[in-house]
Structures are given as structure tokens and as C-alpha cells.
Amino acid sequence: MATVEVRGIVKRFGDVTAVDGVDLLTKEGEFLVLLGPSGCGKTTLLRMIAGLEEPTEGDVLIGGQVVTDLPPRVRGIAMVFQSYALYPHMTVFKNIAFPLKAQGAPKAIWKEKVTWAASMFGIETLLHRKPRELSGGERQRVALARAMVREPNVFLLDEPLSNLDAKLRASAREELQQFQRDIGTTTIYVTHDQVEAMGLGDRVAVMDEGRVRQIGTPREIYHEPADTFVAGFLGTPPMNLLEKENRTFGFRPETFLPLEVSGGHNDVEQFQFEVTWMEHLGSDRLIYGNVGARFTHRHVVAKLPANVTVPIEPGETYTFAVLRKDLKFFDRETGLRANPIPL
């Protein structure tokens, strides 16, 4: 177990600034997720931590030691890529044993370590097979087992679940989290999938254009977004963002409810909601429309749980409400959180 830290790290590829001054410090044994849209610099940041990419500026520290100029193999890290990169001509046993061989570990301990790692991922019975004889989920477990045999201090994972179908992905997520808790190895995990990030991360660093916009627990980044990017990136659908004079303000679709359902308290903000369109999703109803002309960017969406059976029809206008505590305010220029104003 070790902490991972990056200080003022920058990576430029010619004119492209892939990572634009990132500071991060993990806790020991933490599961930290790097989340952000395609091209925001997640993979480049992970590769600099691994030592596969040289930073243009800044430093990487593992276990408090500066490792910026050290090669990957002495950093005490193991990395699993999206592609798994298994050797097709080798059996599962040989694939898992490969890092031990590369390390020059005596053959006598291969069997012990491979058995240990394979049992951790429930693949003991597959050791004689070749990768082509495995399902996507099994291949993924082989890749993780191979990364584990070296007993790394830090685990670096780049979208390791993205080749799995949705159902398998859910069970693989559960397994991965369980496994990480059991072994307690500090883990940095890259994904653009917010469900994965929220489900797996002790903390999530939300990235955009080479920068970390916010780092916090899944609850913090969802309920208290630091800026309009984070607010508009998380959630399906994401936070409604409207403008009033010098402020942007927002509220989550699930906090926007018919007045009678919201309880009609005096700590609510009321809106006249002209409904234009609806979608029934089974567990929820998504209701699209516009709120009063006193706001710019008037288009909003409400997400009503199926047990809220209030009749709602497109073409009609209803009074909806949001608890004031669920309204989030942002500076219109910078997009950063700001003090509330009366609406």
C-alpha cells in the first residue's frame, strides 16, 4: 500500500495540452476514480503515474518518494488496460506467471503465486486454457490476476470493464470493489462512465480539458458540484441549469416535483412548468418543458418516480417546486459556486 501524489503535472503533445496542471493526493488504500469526457486527459495522467509517459512539468510521488525519473518497473505499480493485452499463445497460467518470469522470480514460487491470484478471482479452473477460450469477463479477471501476482503497491486501471456487456459489467464492478477492499491496494481507475465512477470510487476526481474540476466523494460531487461543468456532467439527465441576472442556478431533475408532492412548504421555490414532452422509463417519468419567462435557458426536465402518480399531460402548465436547499448557485462568468440570490 502506498499513497500516490502528482504535483503541478503538465503534459503537452506539441500544441495539445493533454494535462494542464493537476495536483492530486490519494489516501493509502484508497479507490480513486478519474472521471471525465473523452479527451479530457485521464489516460495521459494515468500513464504519467505509471511512468509510461514523461511529464512536461511537475512530479509524481509514490509512497512519498519522487519517482518522476524512474522507469515503470521500479515504481511498484501494476497497470491493467482496456484491451487486457493477454498473450494469445500462452495459457492462463503462463499469462499470470509472466510478470514473475520477467522479474526473474524462481520457478518454484510461480505456482504458489499464480494459484493465490487465480483463487482471488475465481479462475483456478481456467489455468490450462488459452485466452481465446475465455469469455470477456474471464479475460478481464486473468488480466487483473496477472497484475496482482507482483503484489503491487498501486494498481492503475484504464477502463478495464469497457469491453464487457452491461450485465457483466455490473457484476464485475461488484467483484472489483470487493477485491480492492480485501487487498487494500491503493487504486486509481480511469473511466468516462459516471455509473462506474460513482459505484466504485471512495473519491472521484472529475476532469475536463486537462484539469481536475472537483475531487470528492460520489455524494459530494453529485450533491455539491463545485462548478457548472461538474453539475452538467453528472446525473442522467444532468442538473438543470438556468440563468437569472448575474447568477446561474441549478437543480437536479429528481428535486423538481409537482407542488402538492413537494409538500407545499414555505421553504420551496415555485415555478410555472409548461410541459412539452414526456418519457416513461418504468421506474421514472421524465417530464420535459419550460419554466417562466423570468429566466433564460428555460428548458428543464423533471424526473418523477413511478409512485408519484399525479396526472401530467403535455401542453398543460403545472406548478412545480424545488426545496430551496436543493437550489445550487454559480457565478455566471466563472461557473464556480456562488452565494444564493432571490429568484
Q: Give residues in contact with ligand ATP (CB under 6 A).
A: 13, 16, 18, 36, 38-44, 192
Q: Look up residue 24 and give its amino acid.
A: L
State in angstroms the smallest separation of the CB of 83 from ligand ATP: 12
Find the farthest-apart pair of alpha carbons in the chain and give their distance in angstroms, rounded: 76
Least distance between ligand ATP and beta carbon 72 (Å): 17
Angle of the 136-148 helix axis to the 107-120 helix axis, nearest 10: 130
Measured from the CB atom, the residue of 39 and 235 that comes closer to ligand ATP is 39
Nearest CB to ligand ATP, comparing residues 162 and 217: 162
b/e sequence 65-90, b meaning 16+ C-beta within 10 Å: eebeeeebeebbbbbbbbebebeeee
Residue of 73, 45, 74 lying closest to 60 (CA atoms): 45
Helix (H, G, I), strand (E, B) or coil at 80: strand
13 vs 87 by CB, closer to ligand ATP: 13
Q: Min. distance of Cβ 31 from ligand ATP in angstroms?
A: 18
AA letter at 308? V
**Closest approach of ligand ATP to the CB of residue 154, in Å:** 18
CB of 43 to ligand ATP, least distance (A): 3
What interhelical angle do 166-183 and 107-120 show, nearest 10? 120
Nearer to ligand ATP, 52 or 168 (CB): 52
Query: Residues 247, 331: contact at Cβ < 8 Å?
Result: yes
What angle in degrees, to the nearest 10, is found between the helix axes of 136-148 and 92-103? 20
Distance CA 1, CA 87 (A): 28
Nearer to ligand ATP, 192 or 252 (CB): 192
Bridge partners of 187, per DSSP, are 31, 155
Residue closer to ligand ATP (CB basis): 210 or 250: 210
Kindly tell me which of 207 and 300 has the beta carbon lying closer to ligand ATP: 207
At its nearest, how many Å lie between ligand ATP and the CB of residue 159?
Answer: 7
- In the bound complex, what is the minimum distance in angstroms from residue 200's beta carbon to ligand ATP? 16
Unique residue bearing C-alpha cell 414532452: 277
